[in-house]
Amino acid sequence: MKLTKTEEQLMQLLWKKEKAFMKDLLDLFDEPKPAATTVATLLKRMTDKGFVAYNEMGNSREYYPLVKKTDYFSGQVNGMIKSFFNDSAAQFASFFTKETNLSEAELKELRKIIDEQIEKKKK
């Protein structure tokens, strides 16, 4: 399941805080801040989707993420590879290295990462 752009923005704040009350999340938004009702609606939808849960503390709810940021991002990247690159990580890597403005140092770092992963697969 996927989050909308607005839900993702709120989720980024929750990942950063790890646990937060709605008021804390509202304080983290840049101006102009969204209405409290908007954030409450987003949190409800995200709870219904299984991305967020909460602990009740009196009349307040302390929200926390149920999905790790790396797991969500991995799913998004894999979905993009499937949709746009014929489910080929090699086509994605080719596009990424050719179409982004990577420096020589960044390309060398990518090569190092790939070489390390190749060595791990050999073992």
* Per-residue confidence band for 16, with pLDDT thresholds at 50, 70 and 90: very high
pLDDT-above-90 percentage for the chain: 64
pLDDT in tens, 37-80: 999 999 999 999 999 999 999 999 999 999 999 999 988 888 88
**Domain made up of 5-65: CATH architecture:** Orthogonal Bundle (1.10)
The reported pTM is 0.75
Q: Tell me: pLDDT of 122 over 90.
A: no
Q: Read out DSSP for 48-92?
A: HTTSEEEEEETTEEEEEESS-HHHHHHHHHHHHHHHHSTT-HHHH
**What average pLDDT score do residues 93-117 get?**
89
